[in-house]
Amino acid sequence: MPFIETRDETELYVKMWGDGPPVVLVHGWPLNADSWDAQALGLAEAGYTVVAYDRRGFGRSEQPWHGYDYDTFADDLADVLDAVDVEDAAIIGFSMGGGEIARYMSRHEGARVVKAGLIGAVTPFLLQTDDHPNGAPQSVFDGMMAGVRADRAEFMQGFLKGFFGLENNPEALSDSAVHHHWNMAMMAGLHPTLQCIAAFGTTDFRADMAAFTVPTLIVHGTADSIVPIDITARVAATMITDATLIEYDGAPHGLAATHADRLTEDLIEFLDG
């Protein structure tokens, strides 16, 4: 089943590995499902069925003009779960994918889900507002959009340096691995890439957090300069009743690559528990 069709007739690329209890992985911006490969392989080898898909507009999925908002993203996740016909699933989102998980839990009442995961996630809220003074100013996201519009290829090279913490730790990831992620970023459409900056940068998930009524694993790097831990993971852990927060000391945003084995082990322990 390489593609499924959503309720608005958008085709999403889906891959399934392994055999066992289902785990659905939702990727971050500006990547695609292949960014989860290290974890997907480890989970499949540990006895799980791993479902990973490319968000609309990214990777091998279709690039419609509309639908780059979290209500639609949550509906897309629901349509993937329906298409692959899984029950008692764990759904795990990285970065902007954490927003999909939160909005799915509230909008679709956590249907088919028994565990959840927020990895380097943007939840509960990134933007600086009057009632959220510690958030990132709108100018941060405006600057990202301007950089993408001006020279997306060059912007992504610079962005990935911060993504993987290479300014402080040049040995965190090989040049080849960074280039692999750059290739993933460049597979996305320009319009979806821009629209998703607005989506993850300005969507307020605080009202969605009460919908997490299942055991939830939260993993975040303390040196994450893209999605700061103080306004995301540490806050989310106080808002979710059955949350387990694991902080990776000194880890950057892209810890699924820089700390791939540790994340895989922590996911397996959480899912086996």
Residues with catalytic function: 95, 224, 253
Q: What is the amino acid identity at position 134?
A: N
Q: How far, in Å, CA of 63 to CA of 41, rounded?
A: 27
- Sequence-distant (6+) residues with CB within 8 A of 243 are 212, 216, 217, 218, 236, 237
**Residue 55 DSSP code:** P
| Phi then psi dihedrals of residue 174, to 5 deg | -70, 155
Of 98, 40, 43, 81, residue with least CA distance to 218: 98
List Cα–Cα distances, 136 to 122, 139, 196, 224, 250, in angstroms: 11, 8, 16, 14, 21
Residues whose CB falls within 8 Å of the CB of residue 32, separated by 6 or more in sequence, listed in order: 13, 54, 55, 58, 59, 60, 61, 184, 187, 188
6 close to 79: Cβ distance less than 8 angstroms: yes
Entry field: residues in the chain: 273
Radius of gyration of the chain (CA): 17
